[in-house]
Amino acid sequence: MDAELIAMQLFSGVALGAILIMVALGLSIIFGMLGVVNFAHGALFMIGAYAGLWVASLTGSFWWGLLIAPIAIGAFGMLIERFLIRPLYKRSIDDPLLLTFGLGYVLVEAVRIVFGSDGIPFQTPPELAGVADLGIGFFPIYRLFVVAVVAVILVLLWLGLEKTKFGLIVRAGAKDPQIMRVLGVDIAKVWLLVFGLGIGLTALGGVLAAPMRNVNPEMGSLVLAEAFVVTVIGGMGSLVGAVVAGLLVGVAISMTALFAPEMATIVMFALMALVLLVRPHGLFGKPVRG
Amino acid sequence: MTVSDSSVAAVMAGRAGHRGWRARLTAWRVPLSVLILCLLPWVLPSQALAVNVLIYGLVAVGYNLLFGYTGLLSFGHAAFFGAGAYVTGIAIGKFGLPWYAAVALGVVAGSALAFVIGLLSIRTRGIYFSMVTLALSQLVYYVALQASSLTGGENGLRGFTVARIDLFGWTVDFLDPLKKYYVLMVFAAAALWLVSRILNSPFGAVIEAIRENETRARACGYDVERSKLIAFTLSGLICALAGTLSALHLAIVPLDILHYQTSGMIVMMTLLGGAGSFFGPFVGALAFLLMEDVVSLWTSHWQIVVGSVFILFVLFLPKGIWGSALAWRASR
């Protein structure tokens, strides 16, 4: 087992982790603000991949797909929040969860009707195909690109949350929506935007993942479980936790794939069980009451 | 106080028998259920549908013990349903055990799995619980996928057809659909009696108290974690039993039985019928499977219809069919 192979595998783990970060961040932001666990998150990831594929084939350019699909699916997410989830805020926390599960069920079947049940291969855009020599080994350019895009998004998110007025409102609203209402902030509008943002992030993850995986209606179900594992390990509602745990899980999966391929899908669950035993509220989460 | 007074009042009324018809319904719930189950193969369009209602109704009854009565929304019950089915199939097919030993083994294995998953997931509170149960049950799914020499992997488990059921010199032809139905029904009836017995016991009152107000139940001195774990394991036990019946019935165990979509189906059935009511889960399983049956006559995409109906129920009729009927009757 030479060092180059390990370095390459480590890097694919980071690329895989980058996708997981996009999905888990969306999940975590929505939960942190709205207190809703979105069970349709995997289905919206899958829809993001299909939307990217569709726009790319219409315009003939991957870049339009990458730009338009997340925005369009984010807008679709806002419709979901406005018309399906908003009526449930006063009810038990289980109700939005049940509703989004049903929604995921419907969305997967709708995609099967429109695009068929078989997978569609998604070509890596020609300008990002091939490998680059980084001195320590050859790395697929596309994966470097994915990691770069996710890094840029993370910086933008951080700046948006820490340095803008909207970010201030979001952070304050996550702590105490009641006070924000008293201060005259239209919290419903903030929640709408935050839900759209969270869905846009997972859709972006879907478009980015498309050339690395086969695009099929079931691709969201594995991602949903992976995103849950990442969120539980990182701590629900913690953005730093989502990033750290996403990388951790990505690297754990790809390193296990190298040494014990049959354990690759299992290792992240074992990791989660371990975290649950030691720190039930996740690495970066705060202990929750009740 | 976070509990709505009307729901507490409803529980009290049900228990104290202030509303006569409701108390009578509760007292006769097991014989009534069994009577209805006896009639199912004769009133439903096909016997295959009747067996499915029996098996999935039983899973939903087991699930309801946790979701409806203890108030814990698990998304991992496919694991116990599947474990019961797989262990029974493997015991018969690979080890040549008699059917009754295989059923017993399946139930024990499924309950043991429920105990372990419960132990891990009950450490988490609130919203985490659903995610952790889903993730842990997906772990079981991937283990079954990888251990293909034992489970058949993606092709499912095959080759363990039970042709005859014999016990104490009695022999029943298990290939006759109607006789098979009634054999399976005996198990379901026993399980229903057990669930009714649990709900009537002091323990049943404790889990309902936890559902209504966990903090208060804890303050009253009840060991909440322990009660939750027992409820989780018992609920897994009923689901595992349903799994063994499914294995005996189909003579194959598809891998999808372990997928979280199966858990979701169980959740949907329970909610459609009415979580927290004794008859609800069977009504829900019947409604779900009838919808599937009818809609698949004109489109293979029946899931889009069933899923949409489920969304409408969450939005407008969260008590489900049976639960809403009870509430409507009580309000008159």
Query: Which residue on chain B is closest to A96 by alpha carbon?
Result: B314
| Residue B35 binned pLDDT confidence (cut-offs 50, 70, 90) | very high
**pLDDT at site A119:** 86
Cross-strand partners of A132: A139
Are residues B143 and A225, on separate chains, in Cβ contact within 8 Å?
no
What distance in Å separates residue B72's CA from the closest CA in chain A? 9
B71: left (phi over 0), alpha (psi -120 to 50) or beta: left
Asked whether residue A231 carries a pLDDT value surpassing 80, the answer given is yes
pLDDT tens across B208-239, in order? 999 999 999 999 999 999 999 999 999 999 99
* Cβ atoms of A46 and A220 closer than 8 Å: yes
**pLDDT at site B124:** 79
> Closest to A37 (Cβ–Cβ): which among B121, B127, B139?
B127
Residue extents of the structural domains in chain A: 3-117+132-278
Angle A41-59/A62-80 helices, nearest 10 degrees? 140
Q: Does B81 touch chain A (CB under 8 A)?
A: no
pLDDT tens across A119-147, in order? 888 888 888 888 887 777 788 899 999 99
Q: How buried is residue A82: exposed, middle or buried, by Cβ count under 10 Å (0-12/13-18/19+)?
A: middle
Q: How buried is residue B68: exposed, middle or buried, by Cβ count under 10 Å (0-12/13-18/19+)?
A: buried
- Number of inter-chain CB pairs under 8 A, A vs B: 125
Are residues A290 and B271, on separate chains, in Cβ contact within 8 Å?
no
* Cβ atoms of B218 and B225 closer than 8 Å: no
**pLDDT at site A238:** 84
* DSSP H or E stretch at residue B164: strand B164-167
- ipTM associated with this complex: 0.90
What distance in Å separates residue A46's CA from the closest CA in chain B? 16
pLDDT tens across A62-86, in order? 999 999 999 999 999 999 999 999 9
**pLDDT at site B1:** 36
Question: What is the DSSP track for A151-179?
Answer: HHHHHHHHHHHHHSHHHHHHHHHHH-HHH
**pLDDT at site A177:** 82
Average pLDDT across chain A, whole number: 90
Cross-strand partners of B170: B167
**pLDDT at site A288:** 56
pLDDT tens across B141-183, in order? 999 999 988 998 889 998 888 877 777 767 778 888 888 999 9
In CATH terms, is domain B5-330 a member of 3.40.50?
no
**pLDDT at site A1:** 59
d(CA A242, CA A201): 13
Which residues of chain B have a CB within 8 Å of the CB of A288? 125-126, 128
Q: How buried is residue B122: exposed, middle or buried, by Cβ count under 10 Å (0-12/13-18/19+)?
A: buried
| Residue B11 binned pLDDT confidence (cut-offs 50, 70, 90) | low
Query: Which residue on chain A is closest to B264 by alpha carbon?
Result: A101
Structure token pair of residue A92:
């038990």
Which residues of chain B have a CB within 8 Å of the CB of A103? 307, 311
Which residues of chain B have a CB within 8 Å of the CB of A37? 127, 130-131
Largest CA-CA distance found in chain A, in angstroms, rounded:
62
Q: What is the dihedral of CA B20, B24, B26, B28, to 10 degrees?
A: 180
d(CA A210, CA A145): 13
**pLDDT at site A245:** 95
**pLDDT at site B273:** 94
What distance in Å separates residue A275's CA from the closest CA in chain B? 10
| Residue A149 binned pLDDT confidence (cut-offs 50, 70, 90) | very high
**pLDDT at site B4:** 46
Asked whether residue B15 carries a pLDDT value surpassing 80, the answer given is no
Structure token pair of residue B64:
């309801």
What distance in Å separates residue B259's CA from the closest CA in chain A? 10
Q: Which of A167, A183, A230 is nearest to A20 (CA)?
A: A230
pTM value is 0.90
Which residues of chain B have a CB within 8 Å of the CB of A224? 134
pLDDT tens across B68-126, in order? 999 999 999 999 999 999 999 999 999 989 899 999 999 999 999 999 999 999 987 77
- Which residues, in sequence order, are CB contacts of A245 under 8 Å at separation 6+? A24, A230, A231, A233, A234, A235, A282, A283
Q: Which of B136, B134, B12, B277 is nearest to A224 (CA)?
A: B134
Structure token pair of residue B57:
């109704």
Are residues B131 and A277, on separate chains, in Cβ contact within 8 Å?
no
Q: Which of A174, A233, A172 is nearest to A198 (CA)?
A: A174
Q: Does A116 touch chain B (CB under 8 A)?
A: no
Which residues of chain B have a CB within 8 Å of the CB of A105? 261, 264, 268, 303, 306-307, 310
Are residues A236 and B128, on separate chains, in Cβ contact within 8 Å?
yes
Cross-strand partners of B173: B164
Which residues of chain B have a CB within 8 Å of the CB of A236? 127-128
The number of CA neighbours under 13 Å toward the Cβ of A198 is 34
More confident residue, A184 or B106: B106
Are residues B123 and A277, on separate chains, in Cβ contact within 8 Å?
yes
Residue extents of the structural domains in chain B: 5-330
Q: Does B229 touch chain A (CB under 8 A)?
A: no
Asked whether residue B196 carries a pLDDT value surpassing 60, the answer given is yes
Asked whether residue A109 carries a pLDDT value surpassing 90, the answer given is yes
| Residue B3 binned pLDDT confidence (cut-offs 50, 70, 90) | very low
Which residues of chain B have a CB within 8 Å of the CB of A41? none
Q: Which of B268, B213, B254 is nearest to B70 (CA)?
A: B213
d(CA B11, CA B34): 24
Structure token pair of residue B129:
């619980």
**pLDDT at site A32:** 85
Asked whether residue B5 carries a pLDDT value surpassing 70, the answer given is no
**Percentage of residues of chain A with pLDDT beyond 70:** 98
Question: What is the DSSP track for A220-283?
Answer: HHHHHHHHHHHHHHH-TT-HHHHHHHHHHHHHHHHHHHHH-GGGHHHHHHHHHHHHHHH-TT-S
- Which residues, in sequence order, are CB contacts of A22 under 8 Å at separation 6+? A150, A153, A201, A202, A204, A205, A208
Which residues of chain A have a CB within 8 Å of the CB of B308? 102, 106
What distance in Å separates residue B163's CA from the closest CA in chain A? 36
Indicate the pairing of strand B164-167 with strand A131-133.
unpaired
* Cβ atoms of B309 and A115 closer than 8 Å: no
Which residues of chain A have a CB within 8 Å of the CB of B260? 221, 225
When pLDDT is averaged across residues A31-48 and rounded to a whole number, the result is 93
Asked whether residue B12 carries a pLDDT value surpassing 60, the answer given is no
Which residues of chain B have a CB within 8 Å of the CB of A232? 124, 128, 131-132, 135
Q: Which of A37, A18, A55 is nearest to A201 (CA)?
A: A18
Are residues A99 and B315, on separate chains, in Cβ contact within 8 Å?
yes
Are residues B304 and A91, on separate chains, in Cβ contact within 8 Å?
no
**pLDDT at site B299:** 86
Q: Does B256 touch chain A (CB under 8 A)?
A: no
Please name the fold of domain A3-117+132-278.
ABC transporter involved in vitamin B12 uptake, BtuC (1.10.3470)
